[in-house]
Amino acid sequence: MRYGFTTGSCAAAAAKAAAYMLLTGLKKTEITIETPKGILYNAKLLDIMCGENEVSCAVEKDGGDDPDITTGTWIYAKVLYVEENTKNEIIIEGGIGVGRVTKPGLDQPVGNAAINRVPREMIKKEVLEVCRLVDYKGSLRIEISVPEGEKLCERTFNPRLGIVGGISILGTSGIVEPMSSQALIDTIRVELRQRRVLGFDYVAVSPGNYGLEFMRKTYGYDLDKSVKCSNFIGATIDMAVEMGFQKMLLTGHIGKLIKVAGGIMNTHSKEADCRMELLTAFSVKEQIEPLQLRRILECVTTEEAVSVIEESGKLQQVMEQVAEHICYYMENRAGGKIKTDCIIFSNEYGELAKSKGAEEWFILLGQEQAQ
């Protein structure tokens, strides 16, 4: 699998090249930078525009073999002299298509361009290298822009995070590793941290859009105030404990949450799948007939299995067991440091079960909604 390079690496490469062309008057068609990972990035330069006091150029984002909506996007850097500043200072700003932070708890403070700390350090390092090369001791202003950024922003987490007007310039290692789950976990961490910074010690989470939409339609809780944890239930609990949350509500489809009832903390099908076995085991405990147990075990989907259990007349009892076990394993993962509740639903039957403390959440979330 081929790795790619982050928007942060592209911005740093474009900034270094533009600075070199501005300070030397020489044109370049490619530039090399060293990523924080230690891997060299040799970038081709596009759309070069040279003026007396400024130079701009672009680098095309290459995400490698990892699916990435920014792959193919041109990341621009414009470098300008700062005449009024005698210090050797590198000023980094965001231009068109780079988001602006509007909520606390993110990598950058409210009001700043969404160019994260590591990309800023990369840009500064590469530009200062050029300054030393040509013995330039003045200051430079770097403006990073992404012409397609405002449109691409709609397909990212940025609107949920309170980053408006464009994409973020990201990356901690400088490279994009194929099939890496780290980006998703980092996003979950950001959402949790934002909520904690706002003063909340409780959080509602859901594996995906189905759960968030169920919360909105059934209980009137705004999906934008929930945290989408994808398959990473365990990692989300770990991060919530680390940040000092006291309570967590997990809402999700039976197809995902039945795995948690068996202690499975990464619900991706590649990690584990014993949905029917677990549903059958809970049904055995409620003394459902052997023929129906066999039918449950042979089901392909959890929706189908729920229908079989419903035929037995013991759906409520089975699902109450499932909810109890989900909370048990969540609290076990948290080492008893978080009080957990859950709500389970199916597409056909709606709410299947909720834990004993879930009712309290409706009051809590309703009060927050009214603020």
Report the pLDDT value the prediction gives residue 177, as an integer from 0 to 100: 72
3-state secondary structure the chain: CCCEECHHHHHHHHHHHHHHHHHHCCCCCEEEEECCCCCEEEEECEEEEECCCEEEEEEECCCCCCCCCCCCCEEEEEEEEECCCCCCCEEEEECCEECEECCCCCCCCCCCECECHHHHHHHHHHHHHHHHHHCCCCEEEEEEECCCHHHHHCCCCHHHHCEECEECECCCCCEECCCCCHHHHHHHHHHHHHHHHCCCCEEEEECCHHHHHHHHHHHCCCHHHCEECCCEHHHHHHHHHHHCCCEEEEEEEHHHHHHHCCCCCECCCCCCCCHHHHHHHHHHHCCCCHHHHHHHHCCCCHHHHHHHHHHCCCHHHHHHHHHHHHHHHHHHHCCCCCEEEEEEEECCCEEEEECCCHHHHHHHHHHHHHC
pLDDT digits (tens, 9 = 90+) for 344-358: 999 889 999 999 999
Report the pLDDT value the prediction gives residue 271, as an integer from 0 to 100: 86
Q: Please tell me the pTM assigned to this model.
A: 0.70
In this predicted structure, the answer to whether residue 66 has a pLDDT above a threshold of 80 is no
Question: Residue range 329-345: average pLDDT?
Answer: 96
User: What band does 119 get if pLDDT is binned at 50, 70 and 90?
Assistant: very high
Percent of the chain residues topping a pLDDT of 70: 96
User: What band does 64 get if pLDDT is binned at 50, 70 and 90?
Assistant: confident
In this predicted structure, the answer to whether residue 178 has a pLDDT above a threshold of 80 is no
Residues 292 and 311 sit within 8 Å (Cβ to Cβ): yes
In this predicted structure, the answer to whether residue 14 has a pLDDT above a threshold of 70 is yes
Q: What angle do CA 163, 145, 63 make, to 5 degrees?
A: 80
Within 8 A by CB and 6+ apart from 212, the residues are: 206, 223, 226, 228, 251
In this predicted structure, the answer to whether residue 23 has a pLDDT above a threshold of 60 is yes
Report the pLDDT value the prediction gives residue 153, as an integer from 0 to 100: 93
In this predicted structure, the answer to whether residue 204 has a pLDDT above a threshold of 80 is yes
pLDDT digits (tens, 9 = 90+) for 290-300: 999 999 998 87
Least confident interval from 125-129, 218-222, 338-342:
218-222
Question: Residue range 17-32: average pLDDT?
Answer: 96
Distance CA 314, CA 173 (A): 52
Report the pLDDT value the prediction gives residue 85, as an integer from 0 to 100: 63
Report the pLDDT value the prediction gives residue 180, as an integer from 0 to 100: 58
